[in-house]
Structure formats: structure tokens, C-alpha cells
Amino acid sequence: MGAIETETGSDARRHEILRIATRIFAEHGFQTTTMEQVAKEVGFTKPIIYQHFSSKDALYEEIVASTAARLLVSLQAATSVDQSPRQRVEAAFRVYFELVVRESDAFRVLFLQAGSNEHS
């Protein structure tokens, strides 16, 4: 039972790191953000951050990938083959903008990455 509790705690720490790092990357960009800054803001040591993410690149890539995955899942859930093309487009736009508003930092990171070479 201890392993389950530890895994749950580990998952919670990972989620918190992602949440805070998303905000920091959105505010400061990839180049300026440091793992030390993320650790300080989250309230963990750098070694704990590195237990979850091997590098700043890995952390950033997880944010981008998970944001894109949430968008895709939401779009797929909102649209169906039973809808007319117009209904699918309307549903897709509605879901997209709802997510942009709800997860503004994550989308800022996603589109800053897509629109620049700063992470390359």
C-alpha cells in the first residue's frame, strides 16, 4: 500500500511542477526560465524536479505535448460524424476557445513554441 501512496504523491508533485512551470514559461519564455526558478516557485529542490524531468527541455516538451493532447482529445470529444460539417466546425471553435481561456498559460507556451525557434 505504501507504493500506491508514494506513486500518488509523486503524481501530485509532477502535476504541481507542470502547473507552475507552465506559468513560468508563459511569463518568461523558454530561454529565460531556469530549473532553479521552477524549483523555487514550486517549493521543491532542484533534485526533486530532476527526478520528474531529466532537463528543462524535457519539462518544456511535456508541457507542449500534454497541452496539444488535451486540445486534441477535447476536439475529438466535441465533434462527431453525426454532426453536419458546420456543427463540427462550430463545436471545434467553441472547444478551442474554451480551452484557450481556461488554460491560457499552457496555450501561450504552446503557441510561443510553435511560432519561434527559441526552443530549437
Report if residue 120 sits inside a domain: no
Q: What DSSP letter does each residue of 50-109 carry, written as one string?
A: HHH-SSHHHHHHHHHHHHHHHHHHHHHHH--TTS-HHHHHHHHHHHHHHHHHHTHHHHHH
At 48-80, the pLDDT tens digits run 999 999 999 999 999 999 999 999 999 999 888
Query: What is the domain extent for residue 24?
Result: 2-114
Domain membership flag for residue 119? no
When divided into structural domains, the chain yields a total of 1
Q: What is the CATH number of the domain that holds 11?
A: 1.10.357.10
Task: Tell me whether residue 49 is in a domain.
Answer: yes
Domain assignment of residue 39, yes or no: yes
Q: Is the confidence at residue 16, as pLDDT, over 60? A: yes
